[in-house]
Structure 1
Amino acid sequence: MKEQTNIPTGKVERASRFVTTGLKVGTNYIKHYTKKLLDPSLSKDQLHADNAEDIYDTLSDLKGSALKVAQMLSMDKGMLPKAYTDKFAMSQYSAPPLSGPLVVNTFVKTLGQSPFQLYDKFEMKAANAASIGQVHRAWKWDKPLAIKIQYPGVANSVKSDLRIVKPFAIRIVGMNEVDMDKYFDEIESKLLEETDYKLELRRSVELSALCTHIPNLVFPSYYPELSSERIITMDWLDGFHLKEFLLRNPSQEVRNKIGQALWDFYQFQVHTLKTVHADPHPGNFLMRDNGTVGIFDFGCVKEIPEDFYINYFLLVDKEVIKDEVRRRQIYTNLEMIHSSDTEKEITFFSELFQKMIDMLTLPFTLDSFDFGDESYFNDIYAYMDYVSNLKEVRDSKVARGSRHSLYVNRTYFGLYSILSDLKANIKTGYPANTPAFHQQ
């Protein structure tokens, strides 16, 4: 893969890249509709493929927040055309890496020495590269290490990048700008945290220690003395990213073990710690043939407020949901319906949300669940597509759903997606001793 010798860091230079890309996307639309005049049956598949290629090429060069948004969108299967999800998924661990001089410069600026002085051996070629940083392999103390290096200019460009990328997200997702504002504030706060490697190091150490009791999970040790605001040094974990792992044709038993470990990992964080690893894309997990899984990235962590947690998981309780008055109050607490809504709007959105909740929480209501059931996910995607095309939803003037729901929902969607790809059949069920049930 071709290396990058520089990353545009100035606001004007980065903005101009987006403008150029916007012109390309506009040209793609003109080409598409010109061809459609000659062939009315022409689908949008090629249009989506061309747009995805042009947008990804720009985002992968810019790195940082812009590419991170693409990564987030790639996890939401059913939200985007397949051309976008396939292309944007490359940002999880296959973005173009930085060149050697930029890597060395980062070490000298933040740790005062080159990587060749700090480690016994350092591989200049990146092992993988994603949206915020890239990973190199090194050796010290007779052990292999993983060195995570943040791209230059990432932290300083978060706010400006999100302002620029918002129109693209609105057009691709089909969401109103009023919906995006509240959620982009939440995204901005999380991206700023992700660029703080000292915070990530502390969270990595703390959360790893709290989760070591969960079977079949493997966490690296971290080395603060070889870390800085833009570098994190940790143990190298062997294993395979999801796509590579599945090509090895693992047995159903191994798939189930890994799926169960991930499910237990997230349930413990959500229900016990109220603090959760909120970036469950395949690039953050390394799967092994023995059914264990390595977890090494705590850059994106969502702390779940108690009142949101209680209301969110009360929606799992069928007895609570049967009470119309209480159900409406929970929807109001979660900002799914608003005091400004008419009775007709309340009824419409309540019915819409309830069906979606019933579908998405089905695994919680059963003792075990087969995530290899393709019909389950096909039904979810079909319903989401149906909802997104409803006139009442498109014309809604208010954002529906608390800002806290963005990363909690994203966490479960990401987890479900991985479990679906694994075709894991695992023990699920909702832990009945959690606070939500005691609020009845």
Structure 2
Amino acid sequence: MSDIKNKVQKSIPSTKTQRVSKFVKVGAKVSSNYLKHYAKSVIDSSYDRKKALDEENANDVYEALSELKGSALKVAQMMSMDKNMLPQAYTEQFQMSQYSAPPLSLPLVNKTFQKAFGKAPLEIFDTFSKEAVNAASIGQVHQATLGDKTFAVKVQYPGVAESVSSDLKMVKPIAVRMVGLNERDVEHYMEEVENMLLSETDYDLELQRSISISEACKDIQNIHFPTYYPEYSSKKILTMDWLEGDHLNEFIATNPSQEIRNQIGQALWDFYDYQIHKMKEVHADPHPGNFLFKENGTMGIIDFGCVKVIPDLFYDNYFDLMKIENLENKEKRSQVFSNMNFIYENDSAEEKEKLDGLFTSMITILSRPFQKPTFDFSDDNYFNEIASLADDKENQKLLRSSKKPRGLRDGLYVNRTYFGLYSILHDLKAEISTKSYFFD
């Protein structure tokens, strides 16, 4: 694997020409890798060309995206959350963006502070770490102190907000060709992705959402939030309390008891259930890097940049079919599938039958945790069932050959939220009460 996380960047390609050039170079490198590994496989029949090619391509693509940062790296992070979307080599590399990317040098951080406050960090804080303690897709975090308080200061990378639209245009062919996604679906959802990414680059908006969601969810047991500081924040800088805790992989490595795993899992479920059903907006970035776990079974939650507001029309239809009696009612099911653009009136009878079976199976699996008082997310059979449905070649062919996008745009981040939540609960091997405000 690349040791890119140990590098420090002195600049980020910010102009459209510079960023396009980076994409072109990595495209040429991928083509070169293909020829090199093909030649090796001709000479040595035992050589595993696909595995070696995936590993080298994944390394090269991730290194390029890491240096570009912003939207390109964020999309890689999103794809890595779906363990069935990418070859294993890509998943492993792209998962690094959840925790670590090459940080920016201190002079660039100072420049951002000067622009926002007219002062360098050390003119505001008593101490400010020279190196980032965490560097991800949109920004990096430094530790600072003032008096007896310790802060986490998130500094956005230069040029990230301005390059969202152009980056997504360059990412689109990669998503279609490398991952094999339906081009119409990619076009359909690109506007949603662009809007969400633009909101993530607006730290003024993130500050407002962080404060409001933290306040609304403050009484949920075993979770806590940092206090946020508007006086030390701006459109490109966000300052909050420093929270202690381990990321998920570090926490699991401490071998916590089942009781602690269940306690944290319950807190996660309650947090998401409250947001979705009481607030109709949700922290839609449930990757492990946004949670800090403690040995006493409590959890800190950070990063409210990616918040999905759920429209009433989408909410009503999406959750209507979580009720088994509605899902089993063909007339009701057909109406909801039409409202959600899963099935269109001018689809052929054969298409309607196949799509009805596919989407019914998907919703049956997704809603299963809601159908029981408790659910054991350590059950590998459940997640194998999800993987089998996604890997089914007939299902893939049906969706990728479709001449229409399937599903409302709002489903992209709501589905991503549930997938991310279920994945973390599975890693925790948590068994929890799945009581939901929806059924109340």
Q: Normalising by structure 1, report the TM-score.
A: 0.96
Counterparts of 2:332 and 2:47 in 1: how far apart (Å)?
A: 49
What value does the CA root-mean-square deviation take over the aligned residues? Answer: 1.4
Counterparts of 1:285 and 1:6 in 2: how far apart (Å)?
A: 29
- 1:361 partner SS: helix
- 2:244 partner SS: coil
> What is the 5 A alignment of 1:216-235?
216-235=222-241
User: What residue is the counterpart of 1:30 in the other structure?
Assistant: 35
> What is the 5 A alignment of 1:69-148?
69-148=75-154
- Tell whether 2:320 aligns with 1:294: no
2:176–2:183: 8 Å Cα contact kept in structure 1?
Answer: yes
User: What residue is the counterpart of 1:437 in the other structure?
Assistant: none
> Unaligned regions of 5+ residues in structure 1, if any?
435-440
Tell me by how many angstroms 1:121 deviates: 1.1
User: What residue is the counterpart of 2:402 in the other structure?
Assistant: 396
User: What residue is the counterpart of 2:3 in the other structure?
Assistant: none
- Tell whether 2:253 aligns with 1:247: yes
Counterparts of 1:347 and 1:41 in 2: how far apart (Å)?
A: 44
Number of corresponding residues? 434
- Tell whether 2:200 aligns with 1:204: no
1:5–1:102: 8 Å Cα contact kept in structure 2?
Answer: yes
Tell me by how many angstroms 1:315 deviates: 1.3
Counterparts of 2:393 and 2:377 in 1: how far apart (Å)?
A: 23
Rate the CA distance shift 1:47–1:329 in 2: closer, same or farther, 3 A.
Answer: same
Tell me by how many angstroms 1:423 deviates: 0.7
Counterparts of 1:60 and 1:206 in 2: how far apart (Å)?
A: 32
Counterparts of 2:123 and 2:47 in 1: how far apart (Å)?
A: 62
- Tell whether 2:425 aligns with 1:415: no
- 1:401 partner SS: coil
- Tell whether 2:52 aligns with 1:46: yes
1:56–1:87: 8 Å Cα contact kept in structure 2?
Answer: yes
Deviates more, 1:299-308 or 1:31-40: 31-40
Counterparts of 2:392 and 2:25 in 1: how far apart (Å)?
A: 33
Counterparts of 2:156 and 2:265 in 1: how far apart (Å)?
A: 30
Counterparts of 2:394 and 2:341 in 1: how far apart (Å)?
A: 18
Counterparts of 1:242 and 1:50 in 2: how far apart (Å)?
A: 27
Equivalent of residue 379 in structure 1, options 381, 385, 395? 385
Tell me by how many angstroms 1:143 deviates: 1.1
1:79–1:385: 8 Å Cα contact kept in structure 2?
Answer: no
1:189-248 per-residue CA deviation (whole Å, 9 max, x = no partner) reads 000000000000000000100000100011000000000110011000000111111111
Identity of aligned residues (%): 56
Q: Which amino acid aligns with 1:130?
A: A
Equivalent of residue 284 in structure 1, options 287, 290, 300? 290
> Unaligned regions of 5+ residues in structure 2, if any?
1-5
Q: Which amino acid aligns with 1:302?
A: K
Q: Which amino acid aligns with 1:340?
A: N
Q: Normalising by structure 2, report the TM-score.
A: 0.96
Counterparts of 1:267 and 1:68 in 2: how far apart (Å)?
A: 25
- Tell whether 2:266 aligns with 1:260: yes
2:156–2:237: 8 Å Cα contact kept in structure 1?
Answer: yes
- Tell whether 2:8 aligns with 1:3: yes
Tell me by how many angstroms 1:391 deviates: 2.8
User: What residue is the counterpart of 1:427 in the other structure?
Assistant: 433
Counterparts of 2:288 and 2:438 in 1: how far apart (Å)?
A: 30
1:365–1:429: 8 Å Cα contact kept in structure 2?
Answer: no
